[in-house]
């Protein structure tokens, strides 16, 4: 019997379209002999849809057509399992059954732990990070604070809320000067390089912060690493075991990898990584394996696993590094808990995309079974003796 996999993608994030592309790619490469794939598209207004046509990229070019033929659904748990139920009519009909959820969402409102929390509450097993790992992976400030506590090197940085900047911009400017220009300004909880810019002076800083504030209420500013080399490494695993992929050396003519570098550099139905797909998504240029020394390579691998464990990550993540070519100093830039294309290109000489997806699903099922062996509740007669708030207080004091 096939395992019923609900692939969840879309959402209200500014990375909505990137999520669609990643999900379509993944669904194209799942082993359909083992899995019954159930696409679950979440529109920007948070409405959930399902229907086999959602596995095709072309349907997203005309949202009115999508709404006409896809079914509006909600995910529920019943006595017999997990189901997508139609939201139309008085009686909510079961549309599809699920055994496991596979979130392929990007950004705020989904990848940040929001979706993981909902799936946990329903009780369905799901691929990837739990609520804590997802939240830490999305917030660039908190993750840096944790990494610093665990002696993981990160660039010098400062952070603040938008209201703080509006009330006392002089203090923020003073802190930035301590870091030293140029600096890179980022929304703290977004991905895909959206809202990111570089300031080389105080005059440019205000413009960059104003841009970032349009996307997020929390801003991080960090030093620009000189003589920069950007390297990516993927980690697959859970709290018990981890394995690292090949390393990729990222190439760009810009000072950092922009959204255009990652997704809009001219793909025409075939990515630069060689995977045919109906999704017209290009990727940033890269060299695999990265042209770095064995010592630096090993350092990146060790830091990848340390970061993965420190931030409570799971599934397949991509961790981005910044390296000073002259000094060989290595800094962790950030993890991406659900990377674009699920970082399959970093694994291609070790396992194909279909195998990577199969490993992710198999690992999730194993972890779910292990978790169910743990004690999650205990017998108590506390409610049997409850006879009102006064009586309860006396019982709790004793």
Asked if pLDDT for residue 151 goes beyond 70, the answer is yes
| Residue range 345-397, pLDDT digits in tens | 999 999 999 999 999 999 999 999 988 877 666 566 655 666 665 554 555 55
Task: Say if 382 falls within a structural domain.
Answer: no
Give the Cα separation of 225 and 182 in Å (integer): 9
Q: pTM score, two decimals?
A: 0.87
- Considering the domain architecture, whether residues 179 and 251 belong to the same structural domain is answered as no
Averaged pLDDT for residues 170-195: 90
Looking at the structure, tell me whether residues 81 and 111 fall in a common domain: yes
Q: Are 122 and 75 in contact (CB under 8 A)?
A: yes
Domain end call among 167, 201, 223:
223
Task: Return the CATH number at 85.
Answer: 3.40.50.20
Confidence band, pLDDT 50/70/90 cuts, at residue 268? very low
Whether residues 285 and 344 share a domain: the answer is: yes
135 domain residue, yes or no:
no
- Which domain covers residue 299, as residue numbers? 226-366
Whether 190 and 204 map to the same domain: the answer is yes
Angle between helices 169-179 and 202-213 (to 10 degrees): 120
Residue 384 falls within a domain, yes or no?
A: no
> Closest Cα partner for 72 from 55, 100, 56, 96?
96
Q: In what order do the strands lie in the sheet with 315-324?
A: 286-287, 242-250, 228-237, 315-324, 330-336
Mean pLDDT of the region 175-182: 96
214 and 231 fall within a common domain:
no
- Of the candidate ranges 32-46, 114-128, 241-255, the one whose mean pLDDT is the lowest: 241-255
> What is the predicted pLDDT for the residue at 13?
84
Sign of CA dihedral 107, 112, 114, 116: positive
Same domain, 120 and 160: no
Judgement on whether residues 203 and 240 belong to the same structural domain of the protein: no
Kindly state whether residue 93 falls inside one of the protein's structural domains: yes
User: Both 352 and 291 in a single domain?
Assistant: yes
Dihedral of alpha carbons 287, 289, 295, 296, sign: positive
Tell me, yes or no, whether 112 and 166 share the same domain.
no
* Confidence at residue 206, expressed as pLDDT on a 0 to 100 scale: 95
Lowest-confidence segment of 43-47, 245-249, 352-356, 394-398 by average pLDDT: 394-398
Dihedral sign computed on CA atoms, order 293, 296, 300, 302? positive
> Which region among 3-17, 154-168, 241-255, 299-313 has the lowest average model confidence (pLDDT)?
241-255
| Number of domains comprising the chain | 3
Residue range 208-217, pLDDT digits in tens: 999 999 999 9
Averaged pLDDT for residues 34-63: 93
Proportion of the chain above pLDDT 70, given as a percent: 85
Where a domain ends, among 174, 191, 223? 223
Mean pLDDT of 127-131: 97
Same-domain status, 97 and 216: no
Q: 61: pLDDT confidence band, cut at 50, 70 and 90?
A: confident
- Mean pLDDT across 96-121: 94
* 177 and 243, same domain (yes or no): no
Question: Higher model confidence: residue 342 or residue 63?
Answer: 342
pLDDT at 41 over 90: yes
pLDDT band of 259, cuts 50, 70, 90: very low
| Same domain membership, residue 269 and residue 215 | no
**pLDDT surpassing 50 at residue 131:** yes
Residue 398 has pLDDT above 90, yes or no: no
Any domain includes 170: yes
Q: Which two tokens stand for residue 326?
A: 């002259």
Tens-place pLDDT, residues 200-235: 999 999 999 999 999 999 999 999 999 999 999 999
- CATH of residue 178's domain is 3.30.1490.20
In a domain, 147, yes or no: no
- Asked if the structure places residue 293 within a domain, the reply is yes
Structural domain contains residue 143: no
Give φ, ψ of 45 to 5 degrees.
Answer: -95, 15
The domain spanning residue 303 has which CATH number?
3.30.470.20
Q: Name the phi and psi angles at 221, rounded to 5.
A: -125, 130
């Amino acid at each position: 019997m096939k395992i019923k996999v609900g692939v969840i993608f879309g959402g209200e994030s500014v990375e909505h379209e990137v999520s669609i592309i990643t999900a379509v790619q993944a669904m194209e490469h799942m082993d359909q002999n083992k899995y019954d794939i159930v696409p679950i598209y979440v529109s920007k207004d948070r409405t959930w849809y399902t229907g086999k046509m959602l596995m095709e990229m072309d349907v997203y070019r005309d949202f009115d057509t999508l709404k006409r033929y896809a079914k509006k659904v909600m995910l529920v748990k019943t006595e017999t399992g997990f189901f997508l139920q139609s939201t139309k009519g008085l009686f909510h009909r079961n549309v599809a059954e699920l055994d496991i959820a596979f979130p392929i969402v990007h950004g705020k409102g989904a990848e940040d732990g929001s979706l993981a929390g909902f799936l946990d509450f329903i009780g369905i097993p799901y691929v990837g990070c739990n609520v804590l790992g997802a939240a830490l992976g999305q917030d660039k400030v908190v993750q840096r604070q944790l990494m610093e506590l665990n002696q993981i090197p990160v660039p010098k940085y400062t952070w603040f809320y938008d209201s703080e900047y509006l009330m006392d911009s002089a203090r923020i400017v003073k802190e930035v000067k301590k870091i030293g220009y140029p600096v890179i300004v980022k929304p703290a909880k977004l991905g895909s390089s959206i809202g990111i810019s570089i300031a080389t002076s105080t005059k440019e800083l205000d413009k960059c912060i104003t841009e970032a504030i349009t996307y997020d209420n929390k801003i991080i500013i960090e030093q620009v690493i000189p003589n920069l080399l950007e390297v990516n490494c993927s980690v697959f695993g859970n709290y018990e075991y981890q394995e690292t992929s090949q390393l990729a050396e990222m190439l760009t003519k810009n000072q950092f990898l922009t959204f255009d570098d990652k997704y809009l550099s001219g793909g025409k139905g075939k990515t630069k990584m060689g995977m045919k797909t109906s999704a017209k998504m290009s990727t940033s240029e890269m060299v695999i394996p990265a042209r770095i020394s064995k010592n630096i390579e090993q350092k990146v691998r060790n830091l990848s696993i340390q970061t993965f464990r420190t931030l409570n990550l799971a599934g397949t993540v991509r961790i981005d590094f910044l390296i000073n070519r002259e000094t060989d100093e290595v800094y962790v830039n950030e993890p991406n808990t659900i990377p674009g294309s699920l970082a399959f290109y970093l694994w291609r000489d070790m396992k194909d995309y279909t195998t990577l997806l199969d490993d992710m699903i198999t690992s999730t099922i194993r972890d779910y079974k292990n978790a169910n062996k743990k004690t999650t509740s205990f017998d108590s007669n506390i409610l049997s003796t409850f006879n009102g708030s006064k009586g309860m207080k006396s019982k709790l004091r004793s």
